[in-house]
Amino acid sequence: MTDPIGSARKKYRKRVEEAKKKAIGQLRYIELGTLKRGEVIKLRIPIVHLPHIKYGPWTPGIGSGTGKEGDKVFPAGEGGAGRKSGRGATEAIYEDITVKDLVNWMRSELELEIIKPAKRKKEVDKIIYPAISKRGSESLLDLDETLYAMVDRQIVSGEFKSGDSLKIKIDEEDLRYRFPKVKYRPYKDALVIYIRDVSESVTHADLEASYILTFLIDTWLREFYPKVERVYIAHNDFAWEEMEENYYRLKSGGGTSYGPAYDILDAMMNGRDYERKTQVKRKIDKGDVDIYVVQMTDGENWDHEGALVRLRKLMPDLMRLCYLETHFYEEQDTKYLTALKNVYASEVKEGKVRLCTIDRRDDLWKAMKEFFGKR
């Protein structure tokens, strides 16, 4: 026996999911900011009517139930009745688009890669005691298990019988100890270094696009790492570590130099002091985290030779370098981007270095596919 209503429901849900996928792919960076704030985006989807019996004045054979012969089933003026327009709800529903929908869409539509975190060194996560042993240190003596063993021994040997008072007499063979088991933390956490150009040539559109890209990258990495920590470095002629809340309020000004930003990252890795607007100096444990560097800029770097030398020093400790140039007002690649393609040709081929240019604010999907797409 067929189930037309169940079949229609499946078709309806399929249509809803297809509409959500299409809507996510058309989201603009402003709308993505809504998800970034922890809100949901409402998606309007036309209603698909399920098979049902419909009665109307034009349908013959109506006359069952209470009422007199000739009474109208749907009196004029009620919503949805008759051939004339009536009053009623709009024939559409609203579905929520959440961060989880966004992740699923990026996985399927952008075909992003499944990231495998690097293995952590033998680092103790916690110690558990899943078993009991007859041998062990005095500090691990389990009194409850010892008493149970004593009672069992007295029953088996006949020392304790029903109705007798229990005598506490612990022999050496009754002693029971907790047997420890060490659990190690299996995978590294992720540390994302966001380097943002805030020089004079950077526009508000450049800043907005880069800030939404940080949200997309954070969202994707959280699917694979137990913890994702973020560091924010801003630079013009100079560079400094910025607090997250201020990073999204930065104004542009000054020249463009990448070298100082790389120097700060090197200082973090080696325990040196550096320019910062945070209260605590950061020390990066290179063996404990996978380090991602996401650099976003709009223009030419005047000291690109010096910057390349500094970057070469950092490269062995990086999991990935993602470099983005926004060409909203200039179509030609900068000398620095060209130099990266040449100097790191092998790293680009293997996927450790990812380079991308975008010419529209709403082309952030292209950047995500380039930075984390399958190779």
The dihedral formed by the CA atoms of 291, 294, 321 and 120, expressed in degrees to the nearest 10: 10
Task: Identify the pLDDT of residue 268.
Answer: 96
Rounded distance between C-alpha atoms, residue 300 and residue 163, angstroms = 93
Q: Which helix (H) or strand (E) holds 214?
A: helix 204-221
Tell which residue, 200, 278, 213, has the closest CA to residue 246. Answer: 278
Task: Identify the pLDDT of residue 78.
Answer: 47
Tell which residue, 106, 77, 137, has the closest CA to residue 224. Answer: 106
Task: Identify the pLDDT of residue 75.
Answer: 56
Task: Identify the pLDDT of residue 64.
Answer: 55
Query: For the chain, what is the mean pLDDT?
Result: 82
Can you state the angle between helices 304-314 and 335-343, rounded to 10 degrees? 40
Where is average pLDDT lowest: 138-142, 234-238, 324-328? 324-328
Return phi, psi of residue 91, to 5°: -80, 70
Which residues 6+ apart lie within 8 Å of 362 measured at CB? 28, 29
Rounded distance between C-alpha atoms, residue 147 and residue 139, angstroms = 17
| Cβ 225 vs Cβ 288: under 8 Å | no
pLDDT of 19-39, one tens digit each?
Answer: 777 777 777 666 776 777 777
Per-residue DSSP letter, 255: -
Instruction: Give the position of tokens 């081929």.
Output: 349
Rounded distance between C-alpha atoms, residue 336 and residue 60, angstroms = 79
Return phi, psi of residue 239, to 5°: -140, 155
Task: Identify the pLDDT of residue 330.
Answer: 66
Which residues 6+ apart lie within 8 Å of 29 measured at CB? 208, 209, 212, 361, 362, 364
This prediction's pTM? 0.70
Q: Which helix (H) or strand (E) holds 8?
A: helix 4-25
Beta strands in the chain (DSSP E): 41-46, 92-97, 124-133, 177-184, 189-197, 228-235, 239-242, 289-297, 320-326, 353-358
- Both tokens of 108, joined, read 């399927």
**Neighbour order of strands in the sheet with 289-297:** 239-242, 228-235, 189-197, 289-297, 320-326, 353-358
Task: Identify the pLDDT of residue 177.
Answer: 93
Instruction: Specify which of 34-43, 244-253, 350-359 reaches the highest per-range mean pLDDT.
Output: 350-359
Rounded distance between C-alpha atoms, residue 255 and residue 257, angstroms = 7
pLDDT at 72 over 90: no
Which residues 6+ apart lie within 8 Å of 26 measured at CB? none
Q: From the CB of residue 120, how many other CB atoms can be counted at a distance below 10 Å?
A: 18
Rounded distance between C-alpha atoms, residue 322 and residue 17, angstroms = 31
- Both tokens of 132, joined, read 């009991």
Could you tell me whether strands 239-242 and 228-235 are parallel, antiparallel, or unpaired per DSSP bridges?
A: antiparallel
More confident residue, 132 or 35: 132
Which residues 6+ apart lie within 8 Å of 102 measured at CB? 24, 35, 219
The full set of domains in the chain, from first to last, is 1-51+90-109 (no CATH), 124-184 (no CATH), 189-372 (3.40.50.410)
Instruction: Give the position of tokens 């542009």.
Output: 252
Quick check: helix, strand or coil at residue 367? helix
Q: Which residues pair with 179 in a beta bridge?
A: 131
Task: Identify the pLDDT of residue 274.
Answer: 95
| Cβ 322 vs Cβ 293: under 8 Å | yes
Task: Identify the pLDDT of residue 115.
Answer: 92
pLDDT at 92 over 80: no
pLDDT of 199-213, one tens digit each?
Answer: 888 888 788 888 889
Beta strands in 58-165 (DSSP E): 92-97, 124-133
CA-to-CA dists, residue 140 to 125, 146, 147, 182, angstroms: 19, 11, 15, 15
pLDDT of 282-320, one tens digit each?
Answer: 999 888 899 999 999 987 788 888 999 999 999 999 999
More confident residue, 124 or 215: 215
Would you mind telling me the total number of residues written for the chain in this entry?
375
